[in-house]
Structures are given as C-alpha cells and as structure tokens.
Structure 1
Amino acid sequence: MSCFRRVIVGTLLISQPCIVYGQTIVVGNSTVSANESTVAPAVAIVDAKESNSTANLFDGETQQLTDAVIANLTDLELSNIALFSFQNESSLNETLAKRTVPGICKTYPDDPFWPFSSTWHLFDILLGGGLIKTVPYASSCYSSFKDYNSTKCEFITNNWINASIYHTEDPTSINAVLFQGSTCMPPALMPAQSECTVGGYPEYAVSVRNVAQIQLAINFARNLNLRVVIKNTGHDFSAKSVGMGALSIWTHNLKQIQFLRNYRQGSYRGPAFKLGSGVQAFEAYEAARKNNVTIVGGEGRTVGVMGGFLLGGGHSPLSSLYGMAADQVLSMEVVTSDGRFVTANEISHPSLFWALRGGGGSTFGVVTSVVVKAYPKIKVTTLTYILATGPTISYTQFWAAMRAFFDGFITYTDAGNYEYFRISKLGEGRYFSDMGPWFAPGMNKTQLQTLVAPLFSRFKELGVEVKPVYKEYDDFYDAWYASFPVEPWGSNAIRQASRLFPKSNWEDAAKLNATFDVIKSVVEEGGYIVAFNIAAAPKTGYPDNAVNPAWRNTVMHAIMATLWNTTSSEAEMKAASDRLTYGWMQRWRDVSPGAGAYMSEADYIEPDFTQAFFGDNYARLYRIKQFYDPFGVFYAHTAVGSEDWKMSKMILGNLPSQNSKLCRKT
C-alpha cells in the first residue's frame, strides 16, 4: 500500500508519497506499474515543424514535456504529479506575492517541505534515469562516502590542478572551489581536511539529454521552491554552477553539432552551425575545421563555448576581427522558468534573445542549442617571445620594454590582432613576461613582422634583446591548438579579479601613464597578471545585444591574481583577499572610471557589479529577468537579479559562501 502526507507548497496542496511501488502511471494509451523497469520517461515526441526554430531541432529537442503528457499522468494515487506540472498562469500573481515575501529562503534538506526520497525516486523515473546524487569528485580520497580508493585518489591528486578535462566530465566539480567551501579536495592540497562533505555542491544533478528532462527539473524545482543551478563545465570564476542543497541541471551531454551550409535568418545568408549547449571549444573548433570554416569561441580548450561562456559575452582570439562570441548568435532554443520550450531570435521572443546574448548564464533560462555564424577558413600567424630581467636586461629596461609594447595596443587591435601575455614577479628586482601568443588572424608571417617591426626596433633602442618565434598556419584550428594548452583548475589558494581598460586611456598620455603605473604597481607588490590586448568593436560592426558596453571601448582585458599557501592562516588569506579587492583592484577602477569588467573572469565581490558587468544595459536586463523569471527560479552569484538575494554564511568574512542557504533580502 501507499501512504501520503499532505503539505502546502506555495499555493498548492500536495500529497507526497511514502513509497512509489504498487502505483500505476498512465503514459500515452498504456497504464503501467510505477517502477524503473516499466515506466517510460515522461516525454512526448514533438514534430519539429511545429516549432518556431529556424534550424531543425536536435533529437533531444523534439523530446519534450507537454500538457498532454502531464494530463496522462493521472493515476489517482499519484496526486503529487502536480510537482512536475507547468507554471499555473491563473495563480501567478498570488503565487508570486507569496514567494517574494522578504526573508523567504529556498527549500533545503533540513526543511519540512524537502522532498521524500521516494519523491526523488519518482522524479528519476519520470526523467527516464539521469538523476545523480552528488558524490564529490575527490571523495575517493576519504572514507566519508565509503568509496575510498588510494589509486583513484592518487590519480585525482596528480591531475587536480593541471587537467581541467577530467573535472569537466564530472557532474558537479567546478573551478572556483574556494567559494564552494573547499569541502572535498585531495588531502595533499588541503592538509587540514579530514573528511569529505557535499558542502556547497548541489544535492542532486540531472544529466540532461533531452528537453523533457530540463522541463521536469525546472517544474519540480519551481513548484517545491528548490534552488536551481546550471552547470556545463564549471569554468566560471564566481562559482555560478554550485549551491548547497540545489538541483543542478547538467547540460554537458548536449553535444550535437549540425553544419548549416546555407543558413538564412533575418538579413543573414551564409554558413552557420547549430551546436548543443554542452559543446566545448575543442569540439566546436574540430567541427569548423572539418567543414573548412572558422567560428568564434574561447581560447580555453575545455570551456563550454555554447554555455555560460557565450551567454556572458565570450571573448575570443578572433574578437578584434569578428567581435564577441555572443555577437555571432542567430537563434537559440531555450527552456524558460515556466518550463516551456521556446525559440529565441529576432522574431520570436526578441527581448529574451537580446538578453541571452551577453546578459549572463543561469539567469533567464536553460539554453539547449545555439545557431552561430561561421566564417571562411582563415590563416593565422603567431609570435612568441620571453622578456625577463637578467644579466642583459635590468629592472628599468624590463619595464621600459613593457611600456613600449603597451604603447601600440590600439594599432594592434585595429589590425585585428590579439595578444595573450603574462607578467609576474619572480623575486626581488626580478620580473618575467611571456608573450604566449601574439595571435594574428588573417596575416602571414611577413605581414605580422611588418606590424611588430616598430616594437622590436624600440626594444633594440632600449638595449633589450628578445628572440621572437613566428609560426604560420593555414587554419585557425591548428594555430589555436598549438598555442593554448589545457587550462589549470580548482585551486582554493587563489583569488582573481579583472578590468576592461578603455581605448580612451591610450588616447591621452596622462591616462596611459596612470594606467601603466597601476599595472606595474600590482606586479611589483606580488600580483600575477594575465592580460589580453583585445578589442570587441570590429570594423564590420556588431549587433544590438546585452554584451557589456564596456567591451566596445576596450583595448585591454587584464586579470590579476593573488595567491597564498595551502598552509596559510585564515588571517593571511583574508589579508591577501582584501588587498585584491580593496587595494589593487581599486587602483585599476580609479584609472578607468565608468569602464567595467568581464563577468566570467571577475572579482567575486566586485563592489558595483551591476555597472561593472552590465553597464547601461542593466535596467533593461532586470526588467526582462522579472518578466521571464518572476519566481526567481534561476539564481547565480552576481547575475542579473542576484542583488535581491543573499547567502547565510561568509568565507573570510566577506565572500558569500555557496555552502549556505540562499534567501531573499529583507
């Protein structure tokens, strides 16, 4: 027999079952027992022709949850099917008012409204499988989850920092482990840690492979007021893909790719790709090479370029030539907070389309696929060199050479170039910078040599000798693959911040002096800098979208990092953390008033994030957020609308901990 308890969730009176077995579910025209061996997933196959999509739906996109499917799940004992129903528009205003009372928190495992294990089991049945109870990636290093394995732990430890490819294949592992709470790291990297806990990781993840699974997850979370997070690869600096007690929608396996040789959308006529939101940079670039074209994506190999990267704008080695990744988008397929599957483009849901292109991920909906422009095959020449103090280069010569390089930034981006370089302090009076690489799309070796000849002539005048290495490639993929190794991952002994420095700072001698001085001062005080000479306002123009307006005036995106030892005291960590935000970064803000920062690689506690990440677009983005997500189903740290929420705990006194409850501000 089944037993039930009745609870109120929002405005719904719900019966939660104590067990599932022995019940039946009506699926289509069949009545079947409710167990994992007999129940088909709650899905209908929708004719792609009935959608507003301008490209054929992927197979997983034709598998949808519909009103008819919900209506068929009508067994009288299974009254809690309402948990999976679409948003009830007739009670929207009443429900919204009830849910937005200040102080209301999301539902957590220690709350009375938290679903029974049997309800989670029913959820998994309706999903057709794919519900994953979180076990942290490094759990094999501990006995906490009864899966201790010394061999596996050794492998994870050896590949924790320098192999992001393994982390991105895990349903919950993220890069920004510090803000998760560092609750389960390899002991070698966290000597004081004696056990492994879920901490700020989500409680469950859904490994989605079709739209119906996303719809079920959103409906379930909305109707039970569960926190939702969306994870593709987890690359974000700000831990947007985790949250204590959350239900995670893991889009990583949405990998389909379709090349559209003659795509027509609005005024666009030409080649395009439709890519699933789980597609990563190396997969997208491989597909482009196979079809003899070029697409705009990131430099990191394992970044999910059709996920949060693109939704946050997405800077690229090709940005000075073609603009941001978000500028390439022609159409998107999205599941919104009401559980509905829609196409967003210039004709269908145009305001949502505008917001998704640069307004940030985990904010307006779950994107399942994106159609992006493709460009002709392009040759690339790269240049690398090392500049370092030593027997032949003094401190003064080093910084004079760096300044000579800075002086040409407008010239280089006007030529469509992109320079990726690092600056660091090795010791007292010892400094190092490597150009890795200077990326010149559309140029052959001779053309690049001509462009940089004045720079190297200036180096010679300064008595600085470097050994430039040029490499010429026939295709973007080959140049990219040779230039950018797999990126590092998962240190809890680092904090980063960034700034977009405007072109106007290079057009005024005094401003350029001040800009260079604050960059230099951070390095001299021990900061590590990764920077990009990049512009995102191509001569061919760019569309009206939600990309941070600061990008359109930028010639340098600079990231700074402060590091500490794994054995550092909390006081030492806090001092380093505070210096980053309130010392070093403030100097950068002071010399670039009104500019901004790239949201995906920014200070976790950027003081005025709505201006820094979104600029003048913020008011419009907030209105769109309230229209498409009135219940606050989607939340991410420093995303649009996040200022209406707060975390219940802090790390180092002022860093909101994802290992805490998310509640509306009073």
Structure 2
Amino acid sequence: MVASTSLVWLLAAAYPLLNPVLAQTITVDGEAVPADESNIAPAFDVEGAPISDPLPEEEFQLTDAILANLTDLELSNVSLFYFDDGAPAEQKRSLLNLLKCKTFPGDLFYPTKLVWQVFNLLTGGALIETVPIGAVCYEGKHYDEAKCQALLENWTLSTTHINDPTSVMSPLYQGATCQPQNAATGGTCERGGLPSYSVKATNVAQVQLAVNFARNLNLRLVVHNTGHDFLGKSTGAGALSIWTRHMNSIKVIKEYVSPSYRGPAFKLGAGVQVQDLYEAAEREGYTAVGGECRTVGVTGGYTPGGGHSPLSPIAGLGSDQVLSIDMVTPDGRFITVDERNHPDLFWAVRGGGAATWGVVISMTVKVYPKMKFSGLSWAIDTISNNISEDTFWKAVEAYWRRFPLYSDKRSYGYTYIFPMGPGQYLWTMNPWIIANATKCQVQNLVGPLLDEWAELGFPLQPEFFEYDSFYPAWRGHFPGESVGMAEVRTGSRIIPRKNWEDEALLNDTMRTLRELVQEGAPLIHYNINAAAPDGTPDSAANPAWRDALMFIITGLSWAPDASPEEVKDVNERVTHDVMARLKAITPGGGGYGNEGDVMDPEFGQSFFGSNYERLYALKKKIDPLGVFYAPTAVGSEDWYISGQEDWLTRQTGRLCRK
C-alpha cells in the first residue's frame, strides 16, 4: 500500500518537537504500517501553485493544501514541517528563546538516524550524510587510492570542490580537517566544521522541507552552492545544509517588463555558475554581468553580496541587474520578490548579504546586447628583467595615478602584485579591459603610460587584444583561481575617488599600499567603478562601491607547520595591522563582504555602510527565530560559535545566541 501524498507529513506525527524517539510505524486508515519508502511519497509528488515563467526546479512546491490533508489522519503532532505562521510561530519563538544554542549532534533533541532516514524519504532520497571529500585518502571504509591521487592532483582547482555537497574552497573555516595532503603525515579525518547532512536540492519543495525541518527543530541551517566562499558562510558544524548547485536552469526572456526596465532578461536557477551564464549569453546573442571566476554561483553569494564584475564600469554591480527573485523565506514560504511584491526584501536581497534572508531559488536579471571588448594584459617580474625596486614602484604609481582618467573611460583593470623576496616582485595584468572600445582606442588611452614607463626604463611590452563579444575575451584572458589553501587570511577595502582629489591623501594611499607589499602581503587590486546605472531601483548594496576607483584584496599566510603562536600572530596582524592601515586611508569607507576580513570588528559599517541599521531591523522582522546565520551577515553579531579564539572564528563549534 502507498500512502497518499499528505502522508509525507508522517514525521511530524511520529516525532513530536520535544520527543527524541521516533516510532517506526505510522497509522493509515486506522492500520499501523511501516514508515519506509514503500508507503511514503516524496513531498513534491503534488505540484504547487504556478508562478510566472517557472523553471523546472520551481514546479513542485509545498503548499497549505498538502498540510490541510493532515486533518484526515491520526497524527499526534504535525508541527515539525509546518510553515511558521501566526500564533504557533509566537509559541515557538518563546520556546526557542529558552534554547540558547542551536540543537547539536549529541543533544537530547537532535534528530535520530531514523528521523534523518524518514526526512530522506520525504525529500525523495535527496539527503546526503556528510563524508569529507578528503576521506578517500585516509584508512577506513572510504579509502580509495586512485581517487585520492586524483584529488591530490586537482586539489587547488575549484572544479574539484563544486562537485562535492559540502567541500569549501577555504578550508580554514571548516577547521582544515581531513585534508588529503595530510593523510600521509599523521593527519586525521573528521567532519570538523562541515555540516552533518546536506539536501541535494533540485526543487522548491525540498528546500521548504529543509527550512521548516531546521526551524522547527532548532537546527543550524546553512546554504551551500559551489563552495566558493572565503569566510565560512556556507559551512557549519552539526548543521543541515541545502546544496543548491543542481538547480541550474537558464531561461531566456526576450522582453521583461517592470516599473524600471523593459528589455531582455535571463532567469537563472540558484546553481548557475559564472561560466554557465557567460556561455548562455554568448550563445543567445547577449552580454551578461557576472564575476571573473568561473565557478562562482551567480545568484548564490555573489549577487546578494553585491557582486563586482568586469562589466561594472558600464552596468554596475551584479545586484543592480536583478529584476525579480524567487526564494524560500525563513517561514518556509516560496515567494516572488520584485519592485511590486515584498519591496523591502527586494531592496535587501540585492546587496544585503547572502545566507541571511532565505534561500534563493532563482533570479531574473538584465542582459545586454553583444558588444566589442578590447584591452591588454602583461606579466613582468623584476628579477628576470633586472628592474630595481625604485623603478618598479615608480612604474606602478604611474599607473595608479591615472585611475580617474581610466575610470572615466569605463575601464576595468584586474591586476596582481606578488612579493618574490626582498625588493623583488611579480606584476600581472589579468586583464585590463574596456567595453565598446577598439584595440586602437585602448592603445591610444594607454600610450602616455607606456611612454612614461619607457622613460623610466621599465621594459614592459603588453599584449593588446580585441574581440567582438565578452565571452572570448573572458575565456582568453581571465585566469583560473587556485583554491584549497588552509593557511591564508584575507581582507578587502574599497578606495574612493576622493583619495585622488587630495594630493597628500593620494601619496599616503600609494605609500600604504607599497609598504604592505614590501612587508610580504600580495596585492590583488582593481581599477573599477560600480556606479548604479540611471533608473536602477535603490538597493542595499554597499554605498562605498558607488564612488570607487580602486578595490583592494590582500592578506597574509603562514606555513603549514607554523606554531599556534605564529598562526595567532599572523591572524591578528590581518585585522589589527593590515586592515587597520587600509581603513586609516579610507575613513568611513567600506569593503566587500564576499571577500572581506571575517574578523572585522566594524563589519556592519565595512560591508553595508549606511544601510546597516535598516537591514538589521528588517532581519529581525523577516527572521525573528534566526533560521539563517552566516559570519559577518546582518544580525550575526547576535550569535557566536562556541570554543573559538578571539582572533579567528571557525565554524567548528555549536552556534549560540549571545
């Protein structure tokens, strides 16, 4: 016998909120039957209410109609999968306020194996118990010599991690447990800060199940897309994780009409990566706005965090492209958010931070006509070219001083300076690119700089290029990203135009940047402007982006065998020395939350600026139970991770209210 679809709610009857014992049978038409896959239909067997232009992953939803069928069943407690509506929510709020910490493995009320098994049935077999990706290198049931060797050979590639439900590209915040390279030298393999379970989400109903389950059982909940996360936002010990990477549909909309926009658009599933977006745009005859890194999830952390882009000088931030958002909110509801519907959330999700407001299922974004892109790239080191340190810095500063001119030409320069030893450096341009410009126009713009370099004796010969569209320029000139480092901490800062309008401040700015590199900090920096295009609806994106001329990412590292004292010293220097000096030259300014300092004591000001007070008030209204938490996210100051040092918060302990 197969139970009706309404019986997907059997778990709520079999597992009352404050009872850790789950019955192994359910009652159907007065008859006790086993609780297994033979009589439990997945929660998405019933199609939800239609929405406009739905993607395949949006066709199946959890609805009140399904919950209403429970009245015909002999169920003792159905609250486990209920939406958070009305008076029951207030009662839960009062209860959860007494529970200081999220329910953790080993706690009395943490779900049993059988509870997880039934939850797996309800999601249609989408639940995954976490096994660290590096377990294939450690003795035990997961050991696999061939897989281990392949993992070691590809560990620093982002593609290695996006195919795993919980692996993160910055393992520092997960505790760097079960690192494959440590297996041969006495390392151990534990979950550390990885979630206990993950739901491989392919439809809305599965996400709603996970949100309601976590909220009603006071479980920690995290949202994980591609693992392209530098602050530990997409991982957490003992948590239930929603893995959104496989909701990756793309729909072309020839003409989208909203109060502020009429034109072509793409509807993007949550798992669409930058490379997917750019390939689709090229194929369909458009230009789309995304990041420079191939495996970043476009609608995941990237867009809610603001999202800087090679297209920012002509189109603004990634968040400025958003026309509509389909998402599951903390109460478990699936809603559409746009200029007319839920305008506060429409404002907040566009730049107000990831893993804060709910789970994005899809976003509809603007796209633009194909256009020409031209630019240049280079790589030069002082050792092989016999360049003195003084000449090198004069050449760099000659470039920096021209940032206002280049920005006015809608220029985007993406460059690294790496220290290679005392007085020695590598400088790469990765690339410098301008939309709607010919190679000849770029050469004319850059000509005076090259002339000045020639006079300095700086022997740089750049490679110029020209393409008829963005995709081949991006494929040919933007580098891949090396990931998987557990011994590095980074931070970021946006440097405004006003720093170029005051000669003394400009000199101080260039001196500070130069000294950081001379002291061993690599300098990733951009000549970028991200002003919102005319007519763009107001958003929560950091106002510091709007008059930017330069964006800095820097940090420090330590040796794998560094002592605890040495690791602490490096981490404290990042926050209280490196970032403090960058703040000193940008008073009242900001940084980029997706690539910021996780220990920034003024993270609200740094990552959200003047928007923070409004965002915090909205967070309390939208998510009063604290279903969604992430480090440096809005409202994160109300929480802490147990057992952490005051100089670095990893996601390896239980999440507790202050």
TM-score normalised over the length of structure 2: 0.94
1:45 to 41, 44, 47: 47
Is 1:138 the counterpart of 2:139 in the alignment? Answer: no
Is 1:118 the counterpart of 2:114 in the alignment? Answer: yes
Is 1:513 the counterpart of 2:510 in the alignment? Answer: no
Is 1:530 the counterpart of 2:524 in the alignment? Answer: yes
SS for the counterpart of 2:442 is: helix
Q: Distance in 1 between matches of 2:435 and 2:276?
A: 20
Closer, same or farther: CA 6–627 of 1 in aligned 2, 3 Å: closer
Q: Give the paired residue count.
A: 646
Query: What displacement does 1:95 show?
Result: 3.0
1:157 to 152, 158, 181: 152
Query: What displacement does 1:457 show?
Result: 1.5
Q: Which amino acid aligns with 1:204?
A: Y
Query: What displacement does 1:80 show?
Result: 4.7
8 Å Cα contact 1:424-1:433 kept in structure 2:
yes
1:23 to 20, 26, 39: 26
Q: Distance in 2 between matches of 1:186 and 1:246?
A: 23
Percent of aligned pairs sharing the same letter: 46
Residue equivalent to 2:4: none
8 Å Cα contact 2:20-2:109 kept in structure 1:
no
Is 1:127 the counterpart of 2:110 in the alignment? Answer: no
Is 1:262 the counterpart of 2:255 in the alignment? Answer: yes
Unmatched tracts of structure 1, length 5 or more: none
Q: Distance in 2 between matches of 1:122 and 1:80?
A: 15
1:204 to 183, 197, 204: 197
Is 1:643 the counterpart of 2:647 in the alignment? Answer: no
Closer, same or farther: CA 7–130 of 1 in aligned 2, 3 Å: closer
Closer, same or farther: CA 148–8 of 1 in aligned 2, 3 Å: closer
Closer, same or farther: CA 373–6 of 1 in aligned 2, 3 Å: closer
Residue equivalent to 1:493: 487
Residue equivalent to 2:206: 213
8 Å Cα contact 2:11-2:80 kept in structure 1:
no
Residue equivalent to 2:266: 273
Query: What displacement does 1:446 show?
Result: 0.4
Residue equivalent to 1:370: 363
Closer, same or farther: CA 623–128 of 1 in aligned 2, 3 Å: same
2:93 to 93, 96, 106: 96
Residues 54-94 of structure 1 show CA distances to partners (whole Å, capped at 9, x for unaligned) of x4112321201112212335685653542111114113334
Q: Distance in 2 between matches of 1:403 and 1:357?
A: 35
Residue equivalent to 2:76: 79
Q: Distance in 2 between matches of 1:253 and 1:158?
A: 25
Q: Which amino acid aligns with 1:537?
A: A
Query: What displacement does 1:541 show?
Result: 6.0
Q: Distance in 1 between matches of 2:241 and 2:566?
A: 34
Q: Which amino acid aligns with 2:58?
A: E
Residue equivalent to 2:295: 302
Q: Which amino acid aligns with 1:92?
A: A
Residue equivalent to 1:36: 37
Q: What is the aligned-residue RMSD (CA, Å)?
A: 2.2
Q: Distance in 2 between matches of 1:14 and 1:290?
A: 54
Q: Distance in 1 between matches of 2:631 and 2:583?
A: 21
Query: What displacement does 1:33 show?
Result: 6.1
Q: Which amino acid aligns with 1:345?
A: D
Q: Which amino acid aligns with 1:139?
A: A
Is 1:571 the counterpart of 2:565 in the alignment? Answer: yes
Residue equivalent to 2:425: 431
Query: What displacement does 1:25 show?
Result: 5.9
SS for the counterpart of 1:655 is: coil
Residue equivalent to 1:321: 314
2:67 to 70, 79, 87: 70
Residue correspondence of structure 1 range 317-356 to structure 2 within 5 A: 317-356=310-349
8 Å Cα contact 1:14-1:79 kept in structure 2:
no
* Structure 1 range deviating more: 114-123 or 280-289: 114-123
8 Å Cα contact 2:17-2:217 kept in structure 1:
no
1:628 to 602, 609, 622: 622
Q: Distance in 1 between matches of 2:624 and 2:189?
A: 36
8 Å Cα contact 1:649-1:657 kept in structure 2:
no
SS for the counterpart of 1:307 is: helix
Closer, same or farther: CA 552–197 of 1 in aligned 2, 3 Å: same
Closer, same or farther: CA 520–68 of 1 in aligned 2, 3 Å: same
Q: Distance in 1 between matches of 2:310 and 2:277?
A: 14
2:57 to 57, 60, 65: 60
Q: Distance in 1 between matches of 2:12 and 2:32?
A: 25
Q: Which amino acid aligns with 1:23?
A: I
Q: Distance in 2 between matches of 1:386 and 1:58?
A: 43
Closer, same or farther: CA 584–215 of 1 in aligned 2, 3 Å: same
Query: What displacement does 1:418 show?
Result: 0.7
SS for the counterpart of 2:245 is: coil
Q: Which amino acid aligns with 1:246?
A: A
1:176 to 160, 166, 170: 170
Residue equivalent to 1:407: 401
Query: What displacement does 1:562 show?
Result: 1.1
Q: Distance in 2 between matches of 1:234 and 1:354?
A: 25
8 Å Cα contact 1:106-1:227 kept in structure 2:
yes
Q: Which amino acid aligns with 2:581?
A: R
Q: Distance in 1 between matches of 2:489 and 2:186?
A: 20
Q: Distance in 2 between matches of 1:141 and 1:40?
A: 37
Q: Distance in 2 between matches of 1:555 and 1:80?
A: 58
8 Å Cα contact 2:12-2:80 kept in structure 1:
no
Residue equivalent to 1:555: 549
SS for the counterpart of 1:279 is: coil
1:594 to 583, 588, 592: 588
SS for the counterpart of 2:128 is: strand
Closer, same or farther: CA 8–104 of 1 in aligned 2, 3 Å: farther
Residues 187-214 of structure 1 show CA distances to partners (whole Å, capped at 9, x for unaligned) of 34x7755321111000100011111111
SS for the counterpart of 2:298 is: coil
Unmatched tracts of structure 2, length 5 or more: 1-9
8 Å Cα contact 1:388-1:398 kept in structure 2:
no
Is 1:107 the counterpart of 2:103 in the alignment? Answer: yes
SS for the counterpart of 1:187 is: helix
8 Å Cα contact 2:13-2:75 kept in structure 1:
no
8 Å Cα contact 1:17-1:80 kept in structure 2:
no
TM-score normalised over the length of structure 1: 0.93
Residues 538-557 of structure 1 show CA distances to partners (whole Å, capped at 9, x for unaligned) of 56464310000111121111
1:231 to 224, 228, 234: 224
Query: What displacement does 1:656 show?
Result: 1.3
Q: Distance in 1 between matches of 2:255 and 2:399?
A: 42
Q: Distance in 2 between matches of 1:577 and 1:394?
A: 31
Residues 564-588 of structure 1 show CA distances to partners (whole Å, capped at 9, x for unaligned) of 2212222222222211211121111
SS for the counterpart of 2:166 is: coil
8 Å Cα contact 2:558-2:567 kept in structure 1:
yes
Q: Distance in 2 between matches of 1:5 and 1:481?
A: 49
Residue equivalent to 2:142: 147
Query: What displacement does 1:17 show?
Result: 4.9
Q: Which amino acid aligns with 1:482?
A: G
Is 1:360 the counterpart of 2:353 in the alignment? Answer: yes
Closer, same or farther: CA 428–201 of 1 in aligned 2, 3 Å: same
Q: Distance in 2 between matches of 1:78 and 1:241?
A: 35
Q: Distance in 1 between matches of 2:208 and 2:61?
A: 8
Residues 353-391 of structure 1 show CA distances to partners (whole Å, capped at 9, x for unaligned) of 100000011101111000000100011112012343245
8 Å Cα contact 1:320-1:538 kept in structure 2:
no
